Amino acid sequence: MRKSNVVYFFIITVCLLVSFSEVYAQGYPPRGDKKVRENMFVLRTLRMTQALDLTEAQTAVIFPELNRAEKEKARLQADLAREIRELRRLVNNKKVEDRELEDQVAKIVDLREKIRSRESEFEKFLFTQLTSAQKARYIIFDIDFNRGMMERMGRARQSGKENK
């Protein structure tokens, strides 16, 4: 491993230890998956660092904002999970008023928009720090990484069903 990769890994680890919190959720997965979220964050950050070939200076500027964005998204996603649980409760309640459902749906739509907005805000910040080539590589990296994770999660679910 190159010295710069070791430095990147160290910086990522320190940032995670200092600032990472909250469980990823949208009503699922179970609470024990906090470690999964952290591991996915570390994996994504390492792969992004490699794919974009970030300099140490870029890493020092980008990672604190990335951590803040992830922390805020985790909080919003925890709020979203709570609101989705409440919506499920309301839907199962036969005597619920339409107004209550509308209010709950509005809360969920607002939280989802805040999550998208935070992601967009981070990407705008990130693009101010990257070269044109790095921006192009980031777009490809983001698509490939997300698709790859979805495929892996699908295979894991399938193998979990086969083992039951």
What integer is the mean pLDDT of 132-152? Answer: 94
Q: What is the structure's pLDDT at 84?
A: 97
Task: Categorize the per-residue pLDDT at 29 as very low, low, confident or very high, splitting at 50, 70 and 90.
Answer: very low
Which position has the higher pLDDT, 153 or 47? 47
Q: What is the mean pLDDT of the chain?
A: 84
Report residue 119 as tokens.
Answer: 């992601």
Q: Could you write out the three-class secondary structure of 133-163?
A: HHHHHHHHHHHHHHHHHHHHHHHHHHHHHHC
pLDDT value, residue 37: 80
- For 88, the 3-state DSSP assignment is helix
- Band of residue 28 on the pLDDT scale cut at 50, 70, 90: very low
Residue 7's alpha-carbon distances to 19, 59, 65, in angstroms, are 18, 10, 18
Q: What is the pLDDT of residues 51-66, one digit of tens each?
A: 999 999 999 999 999 9
Amino acid 162: pLDDT: 73
- Amino acid identity for residue 138 in this structure: Y
pTM over 0.85: no
Reported as a single tens digit per residue, the pLDDT across 3-16 is 565 555 555 554 54
What 3-state class would DSSP assign to 128?
helix
Mean pLDDT value across residues 33-61: 90
**What pLDDT is recorded for position 21?**
37
**pLDDT range class, residue 132, cuts 50, 70, 90:** very high
Tell whether the model's pLDDT for residue 17 goes beyond 50: no
